[in-house]
Copies of this chain bind each other. A is one copy, B any other.
Amino acid sequence: MIRSIHTIKTGASPFHRLKPHPFSLPHPFIQSHTSHLGPPLLNPKSLSRSRRYFRALQMSTHLSPSNSDSGVSSSSSSLPSMVHKPNIGFCQSCGGPTKHVIPEGEERMRAVCTVCEKVHYENPKMVVGCLVEHNSKVLLCKRKIQPSYGLWTLPAGFMEVGESAAEGAARETFEEACADVEVISPFAQLDIPLIGQSYIIFRAKLKNPHFAPGPESLECALFGFDEIPFDSLAFSSVLVTLQMYIEDVRAGKLRSHYCTITKKKFLEKQIR
Protein backbone atom coordinates (compact mmCIF):
# COMPACT_ATOMS: atom_id res chain seq x y z
CA MET A 1 0.00 0.00 0.00
CA ILE A 2 3.05 2.23 0.02
CA ARG A 3 4.03 4.17 -3.02
CA SER A 4 6.12 7.11 -2.06
CA ILE A 5 8.99 7.10 0.37
CA HIS A 6 10.19 10.06 2.33
CA THR A 7 13.31 9.70 4.38
CA ILE A 8 13.70 12.46 6.88
CA LYS A 9 17.03 12.67 8.54
CA THR A 10 18.92 15.29 10.44
CA GLY A 11 22.66 15.43 10.61
CA ALA A 12 25.79 17.39 11.26
CA SER A 13 25.26 19.57 8.21
CA PRO A 14 21.82 20.96 8.91
CA PHE A 15 21.26 22.88 5.69
CA HIS A 16 22.36 20.21 3.26
CA ARG A 17 19.37 18.73 1.50
CA LEU A 18 19.48 15.57 -0.53
CA LYS A 19 16.66 16.92 -2.59
CA PRO A 20 15.16 20.30 -1.81
CA HIS A 21 11.50 20.21 -0.96
CA PRO A 22 9.46 22.99 -2.56
CA PHE A 23 7.86 23.92 0.74
CA SER A 24 10.74 23.33 3.11
CA LEU A 25 12.66 26.48 3.83
CA PRO A 26 15.90 26.13 5.79
CA HIS A 27 15.22 24.70 9.24
CA PRO A 28 17.90 23.94 11.82
CA PHE A 29 16.70 20.42 12.58
CA ILE A 30 15.71 18.87 9.29
CA GLN A 31 17.13 17.41 6.12
CA SER A 32 14.66 15.79 3.86
CA HIS A 33 14.40 14.05 0.58
CA THR A 34 11.66 12.34 -1.29
CA SER A 35 12.08 9.30 -3.44
CA HIS A 36 9.91 6.65 -5.00
CA LEU A 37 12.35 3.77 -4.90
CA GLY A 38 13.27 0.74 -2.91
CA PRO A 39 11.66 -2.44 -1.64
CA PRO A 40 10.41 -2.79 1.91
CA LEU A 41 13.25 -3.36 4.36
CA LEU A 42 12.70 -3.90 7.99
CA ASN A 43 14.55 -6.96 9.04
CA PRO A 44 15.43 -7.09 12.72
CA LYS A 45 17.35 -10.35 12.40
CA SER A 46 19.85 -9.27 9.82
CA LEU A 47 20.63 -5.93 11.41
CA SER A 48 22.74 -5.42 14.47
CA ARG A 49 20.89 -3.89 17.40
CA SER A 50 22.90 -0.70 17.06
CA ARG A 51 21.88 -0.16 13.47
CA ARG A 52 18.34 -1.31 13.96
CA TYR A 53 17.43 1.44 16.40
CA PHE A 54 18.78 4.37 14.46
CA ARG A 55 17.69 3.94 10.90
CA ALA A 56 15.71 6.57 9.12
CA LEU A 57 12.42 5.21 7.92
CA GLN A 58 9.34 6.77 6.54
CA MET A 59 6.36 5.11 4.98
CA SER A 60 3.67 7.17 3.37
CA THR A 61 0.37 5.40 2.87
CA HIS A 62 -1.74 6.50 -0.06
CA LEU A 63 -5.49 6.48 0.28
CA SER A 64 -5.80 4.46 -2.88
CA PRO A 65 -7.17 0.93 -2.88
CA SER A 66 -5.65 0.28 -6.28
CA ASN A 67 -2.20 1.04 -5.00
CA SER A 68 -0.36 -2.19 -4.43
CA ASP A 69 3.34 -1.48 -4.73
CA SER A 70 5.24 -0.72 -1.59
CA GLY A 71 8.57 0.40 -0.28
CA VAL A 72 10.41 1.44 2.82
CA SER A 73 13.64 3.35 2.63
CA SER A 74 16.33 2.82 5.19
CA SER A 75 19.74 4.16 5.95
CA SER A 76 22.21 2.70 8.37
CA SER A 77 24.06 4.53 11.07
CA SER A 78 27.21 3.79 13.02
CA LEU A 79 25.78 5.27 16.20
CA PRO A 80 26.07 3.27 19.39
CA SER A 81 23.16 1.10 20.47
CA MET A 82 22.78 1.90 24.13
CA VAL A 83 22.58 5.67 24.00
CA HIS A 84 19.41 5.84 26.01
CA LYS A 85 20.12 5.54 29.70
CA PRO A 86 17.30 5.17 32.20
CA ASN A 87 16.33 8.49 33.74
CA ILE A 88 14.91 7.04 36.94
CA GLY A 89 16.98 7.54 40.10
CA PHE A 90 14.51 6.19 42.63
CA CYS A 91 11.80 3.53 42.70
CA GLN A 92 8.25 4.82 42.24
CA SER A 93 6.88 1.98 44.36
CA CYS A 94 9.11 1.99 47.45
CA GLY A 95 11.36 5.06 47.09
CA GLY A 96 14.55 2.96 47.08
CA PRO A 97 17.53 3.99 44.93
CA THR A 98 17.80 2.31 41.53
CA LYS A 99 20.77 0.77 39.74
CA HIS A 100 21.12 0.72 35.98
CA VAL A 101 21.62 -2.80 34.67
CA ILE A 102 20.56 -5.06 31.82
CA PRO A 103 18.18 -7.55 33.52
CA GLU A 104 18.49 -11.25 32.71
CA GLY A 105 16.64 -12.13 29.52
CA GLU A 106 16.62 -8.53 28.30
CA GLU A 107 18.91 -6.56 26.03
CA ARG A 108 18.41 -3.03 27.25
CA MET A 109 19.59 -1.06 30.24
CA ARG A 110 16.84 -0.63 32.84
CA ALA A 111 16.51 1.15 36.16
CA VAL A 112 16.08 -1.63 38.73
CA CYS A 113 15.25 -0.89 42.38
CA THR A 114 18.03 -1.97 44.75
CA VAL A 115 15.46 -2.50 47.52
CA CYS A 116 12.34 -4.15 46.00
CA GLU A 117 13.99 -5.18 42.69
CA LYS A 118 11.18 -3.68 40.59
CA VAL A 119 12.23 -3.06 36.97
CA HIS A 120 11.23 0.39 35.70
CA TYR A 121 10.50 0.68 31.99
CA GLU A 122 10.57 3.93 30.05
CA ASN A 123 8.32 4.07 27.02
CA PRO A 124 7.84 6.59 24.22
CA LYS A 125 5.27 9.32 24.78
CA MET A 126 2.45 10.10 22.39
CA VAL A 127 2.00 13.70 21.31
CA VAL A 128 -1.44 14.31 19.82
CA GLY A 129 -2.53 17.35 17.85
CA CYS A 130 -4.68 18.81 15.10
CA LEU A 131 -3.99 20.20 11.69
CA VAL A 132 -6.98 22.56 11.61
CA GLU A 133 -8.13 23.56 8.13
CA HIS A 134 -10.26 26.64 7.56
CA ASN A 135 -10.82 28.36 4.21
CA SER A 136 -7.63 26.86 2.73
CA LYS A 137 -5.62 28.04 5.71
CA VAL A 138 -4.13 26.20 8.68
CA LEU A 139 -4.24 27.18 12.33
CA LEU A 140 -0.91 27.73 14.11
CA CYS A 141 -0.09 28.83 17.65
CA LYS A 142 2.92 30.90 18.78
CA ARG A 143 4.32 29.22 21.88
CA LYS A 144 4.29 31.09 25.19
CA ILE A 145 6.24 28.31 26.92
CA GLN A 146 9.57 26.56 26.56
CA PRO A 147 10.82 24.73 24.62
CA SER A 148 10.64 26.83 21.46
CA TYR A 149 9.14 29.93 23.14
CA GLY A 150 8.00 32.39 20.47
CA LEU A 151 7.99 29.83 17.64
CA TRP A 152 4.95 28.55 15.76
CA THR A 153 3.42 25.12 16.23
CA LEU A 154 0.36 23.05 15.46
CA PRO A 155 -1.82 22.76 18.56
CA ALA A 156 -0.57 19.54 20.16
CA GLY A 157 0.52 18.07 23.45
CA PHE A 158 1.03 14.89 25.43
CA MET A 159 -1.83 12.42 25.34
CA GLU A 160 -3.30 11.60 28.75
CA VAL A 161 -4.35 8.27 30.23
CA GLY A 162 -8.15 8.07 29.92
CA GLU A 163 -8.56 9.68 26.51
CA SER A 164 -8.24 8.53 22.91
CA ALA A 165 -5.70 10.14 20.59
CA ALA A 166 -8.49 11.99 18.77
CA GLU A 167 -9.96 13.25 22.04
CA GLY A 168 -6.52 14.35 23.21
CA ALA A 169 -5.88 16.19 19.95
CA ALA A 170 -9.19 18.07 20.25
CA ARG A 171 -8.49 18.84 23.92
CA GLU A 172 -5.05 20.24 23.15
CA THR A 173 -6.50 22.36 20.34
CA PHE A 174 -9.07 23.77 22.71
CA GLU A 175 -6.47 24.42 25.42
CA GLU A 176 -3.90 26.06 23.15
CA ALA A 177 -6.12 27.87 20.65
CA CYS A 178 -9.56 27.98 22.38
CA ALA A 179 -10.74 26.36 19.16
CA ASP A 180 -13.73 24.06 19.13
CA VAL A 181 -12.88 21.46 16.48
CA GLU A 182 -14.39 18.52 14.72
CA VAL A 183 -11.81 15.81 14.10
CA ILE A 184 -11.97 14.54 10.51
CA SER A 185 -9.39 11.77 10.15
CA PRO A 186 -5.87 10.69 11.11
CA PHE A 187 -3.34 12.54 8.96
CA ALA A 188 0.13 11.56 10.13
CA GLN A 189 2.09 9.50 12.62
CA LEU A 190 5.62 10.79 13.07
CA ASP A 191 7.95 8.77 15.28
CA ILE A 192 11.01 10.48 16.76
CA PRO A 193 12.92 7.56 18.28
CA LEU A 194 15.82 9.52 19.70
CA ILE A 195 13.64 11.58 22.00
CA GLY A 196 11.07 8.84 22.59
CA GLN A 197 8.08 10.62 21.09
CA SER A 198 5.41 9.69 18.56
CA TYR A 199 3.25 12.42 17.08
CA ILE A 200 -0.29 11.52 16.02
CA ILE A 201 -1.75 14.39 14.00
CA PHE A 202 -5.42 14.54 12.92
CA ARG A 203 -7.04 16.68 10.27
CA ALA A 204 -9.75 18.80 11.89
CA LYS A 205 -12.02 21.70 11.12
CA LEU A 206 -13.38 24.58 13.20
CA LYS A 207 -16.96 24.10 14.38
CA ASN A 208 -17.23 27.88 14.45
CA PRO A 209 -14.78 30.58 13.32
CA HIS A 210 -13.69 31.48 16.86
CA PHE A 211 -10.17 30.92 18.15
CA ALA A 212 -7.90 32.78 20.55
CA PRO A 213 -4.62 32.15 22.36
CA GLY A 214 -4.92 29.87 25.38
CA PRO A 215 -2.60 30.12 28.42
CA GLU A 216 0.31 28.44 26.59
CA SER A 217 0.08 30.57 23.40
CA LEU A 218 1.19 34.14 22.64
CA GLU A 219 -1.07 34.28 19.59
CA CYS A 220 -2.98 32.05 17.20
CA ALA A 221 -3.53 32.66 13.50
CA LEU A 222 -4.70 31.08 10.26
CA PHE A 223 -2.03 30.91 7.57
CA GLY A 224 -2.37 30.42 3.83
CA PHE A 225 0.22 28.01 2.43
CA ASP A 226 2.40 30.87 1.21
CA GLU A 227 2.21 32.67 4.54
CA ILE A 228 3.35 29.85 6.82
CA PRO A 229 6.38 31.00 8.88
CA PHE A 230 8.63 28.09 7.85
CA ASP A 231 11.68 29.81 9.33
CA SER A 232 10.01 30.13 12.74
CA LEU A 233 8.48 26.71 13.33
CA ALA A 234 8.86 25.20 16.78
CA PHE A 235 9.51 21.54 15.94
CA SER A 236 10.68 19.32 13.11
CA SER A 237 7.40 17.38 13.41
CA VAL A 238 5.44 20.55 12.63
CA LEU A 239 7.57 21.28 9.59
CA VAL A 240 7.23 17.75 8.23
CA THR A 241 3.47 17.64 8.84
CA LEU A 242 2.89 20.96 7.09
CA GLN A 243 5.12 19.93 4.16
CA MET A 244 3.21 16.69 3.68
CA TYR A 245 -0.14 18.42 3.97
CA ILE A 246 0.68 21.16 1.45
CA GLU A 247 2.11 18.59 -0.93
CA ASP A 248 -1.06 16.49 -0.64
CA VAL A 249 -3.41 19.44 -1.12
CA ARG A 250 -1.49 20.72 -4.14
CA ALA A 251 -1.52 17.21 -5.61
CA GLY A 252 -5.26 17.03 -4.97
CA LYS A 253 -4.79 13.80 -3.02
CA LEU A 254 -4.96 13.77 0.76
CA ARG A 255 -3.22 10.73 2.18
CA SER A 256 -2.40 9.38 5.61
CA HIS A 257 1.28 9.30 6.44
CA TYR A 258 3.62 7.33 8.64
CA CYS A 259 7.17 8.48 9.06
CA THR A 260 10.17 8.55 11.32
CA ILE A 261 12.31 11.58 12.02
CA THR A 262 15.86 10.82 13.10
CA LYS A 263 17.82 13.44 14.93
CA LYS A 264 21.50 12.65 14.77
CA LYS A 265 22.42 16.09 15.96
CA PHE A 266 20.36 15.60 19.08
CA LEU A 267 21.94 12.20 19.58
CA GLU A 268 25.47 13.53 19.22
CA LYS A 269 24.69 16.08 21.91
CA GLN A 270 23.34 13.32 24.16
CA ILE A 271 26.38 11.05 23.99
CA ARG A 272 29.03 13.74 24.26
Contacts and interface: CB of A to CB of B under 8 A. Distances in A.
A243 to B, nearest CB: 19
A163 interface: yes
Interface residue SS majority, chain A? loop
B162 A193 contact: yes
Contacts of A96: 95
Contacts of A256: 1, 61, 186, 256
Interface string A92-107: 1111110000000100
Nearest to A185: B1
Interface stretch (A29-37, A52-60, A136-144, A223-231): A52-60
25 contacts: A43-B181, A43-B182, A44-B167, A44-B171, A44-B173, A44-B180, A45-B174, A45-B180, A57-B164, A57-B166, A61-B186, A63-B63, A63-B64, A64-B64, A64-B65, A83-B162, A84-B162, A88-B92, A89-B94, A90-B94, A95-B95, A122-B161, A124-B161, A161-B193, A186-B258
Given A63-B65, A70-B184, A161-B193, 15 more contacts: A1-B184, A41-B182, A42-B167, A42-B181, A42-B204, A45-B174, A57-B164, A57-B166, A64-B65, A84-B161, A89-B95, A90-B93, A123-B125, A165-B189, A165-B191
